[in-house]
């Protein structure tokens, strides 16, 4: 006999939060409120796990705003942005492990957020902030700020790239022993930094070489920057009718023209013929000495891509392949369609560079020519993502090579060159729409592809968890929000899939 003629409902499987439409539309194997649970296996659930303090140091970091994975040559570490409660400046620290903290490696007033990408054991960091007021508040690179490079050793980050040698005093050139093609050449010198960046040439000097004579240099400039580790000499081929424009000719690296230090001022008896001048250096003339800060950064085809500077919100600056600090001011630029909205994210997927705005998605493909010639394709005029709205995968700090998962105003979307419909967050549409879209800049999104779990730091400072062990499908994914005694401000994954939570108090794991 049933109690009061009630027929019990047996749940063979529990499928998490359902918040779409009125409460009566909730399926019996979902709850309209299921905060702070964890999914056990593919059918069960229980109370979520607790959290532990991540840092075992005397003065742990607090007031945490942003965390990023920083892949060094031998470890997976974290870069952490905090606000100093005394100075109110914003500081970035390098958290090597639970007992080792380096820094601050970069301190800037007004740096309310930052973007970064690892490259060759270094971190390229760009500070940005929010500008304007709702509903037209958006993020862009800070005014009069730059791209920075951090070597990963605890020494402060410095501005990426570098300035060329000054024009004066004049570098002296005389005939030496050896051989050159006779005639008028232009010579110049450039600096090489400890990250391999080559500055634009400077200290231009004209000299007429003579047959059966090499050339000797004195007065070679020394840089005042400690990160300059070498100098390189460049030259034109013989110029028949010199017009006085020192930067209008093609320059080449002189064989044996590298000075492997920043102290020597002479180089004697250098021999070369015009036929030996093979490695072009002319493109260095137009490279940025100081690269403006942006709000989005990624690596595409071994090129550093940096978008959304203070003055150019729809512009992506693209470096030379294999030279992340060499960005040409003329050819290294690609432009998204102008609509008054800034680029929020740039990300490679399947050999294509995608650019996102809040409600726009575009694509460019490397055609083997300079970036300014890459063709543009408009993917979607209605869907995009906020500033941190593309999920990074496990502890790599990068997106999946098979697909992207994005957080849009419409919901959490699966993207593989087009957006899948319905959205992954279909079952929790009302829950997602309750989030303040003016605070979507606070979203940070992770994909633990090993355990098949999505983590999304929400504008209301909770953590949304999506379990997709039954499939990355809108009807099969299981959602639950998690609430903690602290406000969730930022998240990261380390050691493949260990979740790190940043809050106003400290780091938790």
257 within a domain of the structure (yes/no): yes
Cα separation, 131 vs 286, in Å, equals: 30
497 within a domain of the structure (yes/no): yes
55 within a domain of the structure (yes/no): no
Cα angle, residue 274 at apex, residues 268 and 278 outer, rounded to 5°: 95
Strands 412-415 and 463-467: unpaired
258 within a domain of the structure (yes/no): yes
Residues 462 and 416 in one domain: yes
User: Is the peptide bond prior to 28 cis by the omega test (within 30 degrees of 0)?
Assistant: no
Helix H, strand E, coil C: the string for 132-192 is CCCCCCEEEECCCCECEEECCCCCCCEECCCCCCCCCCCCEEEEECCCCCCEEEEEEEEEE
| Sheet arrangement for strand 498-503 | 488-494, 498-503, 507-508
Counting other chains too, the contacts that 47-52 makes at CB distance below 8 Å and 24 or more residues apart are: 48/480, 48/482, 51/484, 51/501, 51/508, 51/509, 52/508, 52/509
106: Cβ contacts below 8 Å, ≥ 6 apart: 91, 92, 125, 127, 148, 150, 156, 157
Please say whether the beta carbons of 296 and 346 come within 8 A.
yes
Residues 295 and 281 in one domain: no
Boundary residue ending a domain (233, 265, 285): 285
Count how many domains the chain has: 2
> Which residue segment(s) compose the domain that 252 sits in?
172-285
Please say whether the beta carbons of 482 and 39 come within 8 A.
no
496 within a domain of the structure (yes/no): yes
14 within a domain of the structure (yes/no): no
Residues 363 and 474 in one domain: yes
Q: How far is CA 197 from CA 56, 220, 393, in A?
A: 38, 19, 30
Tokens at 218, concatenated: 């004195």
Tens digit of each residue's pLDDT, the chain (509 residues): 556 667 777 777 899 999 999 988 999 999 999 999 999 988 888 999 999 999 999 889 999 999 999 988 888 899 999 999 899 999 999 999 999 999 999 999 999 999 999 999 999 999 999 999 888 889 999 999 999 999 999 999 999 999 999 988 989 999 988 889 999 999 999 999 999 999 999 999 999 998 888 999 999 999 999 999 999 999 999 999 999 999 899 999 999 999 999 999 999 999 999 999 999 998 899 999 999 999 999 999 999 999 999 999 999 999 999 999 999 999 999 999 999 999 999 999 999 999 999 999 999 999 999 999 999 999 999 999 999 999 998 877 667 668 999 999 999 999 999 999 999 999 999 999 999 988 999 999 999 999 999 999 999 999 999 999 999 999 999 999 999 999 999 999 988 889 999 999 898 98
Residues 445 and 324 in one domain: yes
Residues 332 and 450 in one domain: yes
Does the pTM exceed 0.85? yes
Cα–Cα nearest to 492, from 185, 184, 78: 78
Please say whether the beta carbons of 384 and 375 come within 8 A.
no
Residues 66-84 as b or e (16 or more Cβ within 10 Å = b):
bbbbbbbeeebbbbbbbbe
Residues 304 and 425 in one domain: yes
Residues 383 and 430 in one domain: yes
Residues 316 and 264 in one domain: no
User: What is the phi/psi pair of residue 390, to 5°?
Assistant: -105, 125
């Amino acid at each position: 006999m049933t109690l009061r003629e009630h027929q019990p409902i047996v749940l063979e499987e529990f499928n998490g939060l359902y918040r779409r439409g009125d409460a009566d539309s909730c399926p019996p194997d979902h709850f309209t409120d299921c905060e702070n649970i964890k999914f056990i296996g593919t059918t069960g659930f229980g109370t979520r796990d607790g959290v532990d303090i991540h840092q075992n140091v005397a003065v742990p970091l607090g007031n945490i705003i942003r965390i990023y994975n920083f892949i060094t040559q031998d470890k997976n570490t974290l870069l952490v942005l905090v606000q100093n409660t005394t100075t109110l400046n914003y500081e970035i620290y390098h958290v090597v492990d639970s007992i080792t903290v380096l820094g601050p490696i970069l301190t800037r007033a007004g740096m309310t957020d930052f973007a970064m990408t690892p490259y060759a054991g270094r971190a390229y960091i760009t500070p940005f902030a929010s500008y304007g007021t709702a509903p037209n508040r958006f993020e862009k690179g800070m005014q009069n700020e730059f791209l920075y490079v951090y070597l990963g050793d605890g020494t402060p980050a410095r501005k990426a790239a570098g300035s060329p040698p000054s024009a004066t005093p004049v570098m002296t050139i005389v005939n030496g022993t050896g051989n050159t093609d006779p005639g008028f050449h232009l010579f110049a010198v450039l600096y090489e930094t400890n990250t391999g960046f080559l500055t634009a040439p400077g200290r231009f000097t004209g000299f007429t070489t003579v047959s059966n004579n090499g050339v000797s240099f004195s007065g070679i400039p020394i840089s005042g920057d400690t990160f300059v580790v070498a100098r390189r000499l460049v030259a034109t081929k013989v110029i028949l009718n010199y017009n006085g424009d020192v930067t209008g000719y093609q320059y080449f690296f002189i064989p044996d023209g590298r000075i492997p230090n920043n102290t020597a001022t002479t180089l004697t008896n250098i021999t070369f013929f015009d036929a030996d001048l093979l490695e072009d250096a002319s493109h260095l003339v137009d490279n940025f000495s100081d690269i403006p800060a942006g709000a989005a950064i990624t690596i595409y085809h071994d090129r550093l891509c940096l978008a959304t500077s203070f003055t150019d919100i729809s512009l992506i600056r693209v470096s030379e392949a294999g030279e992340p600090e060499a960005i040409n001011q003329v050819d290294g630029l690609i432009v998204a369609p102008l609509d008054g909205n800034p680029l929020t994210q740039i990300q490679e997927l399947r050999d294509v560079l995608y650019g996102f705005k809040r409600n726009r998605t575009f694509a460019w493909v490397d055609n083997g020519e300079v970036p300014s010639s890459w063709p543009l394709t408009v993917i979607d005029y209605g869907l995009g993502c906020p500033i941190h709205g593309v999920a990074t995968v496990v502890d790599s700090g990068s997106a999946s090579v098979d697909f992207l998962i994005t957080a849009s105003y419409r919901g959490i979307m699966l993207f593989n060159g087009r957006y899948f419909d319905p959205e992954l967050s279909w079952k929790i549409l009302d829950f997602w729409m309750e989030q303040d879209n003016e605070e979507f800049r606070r979203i940070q999104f992770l994909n633990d592809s090993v355990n098949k779990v999505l983590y999304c730091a929400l504008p209301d400072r909770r953590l949304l968890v999506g379990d997709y062990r039954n499939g990355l499908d809108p009807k099969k994914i299981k959602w639950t929000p998690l609430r903690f005694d602290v406000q969730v401000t930022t998240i990261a994954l380390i050691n493949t899939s260990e979740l790190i939570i940043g809050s106003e108090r400290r780091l938790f794991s």
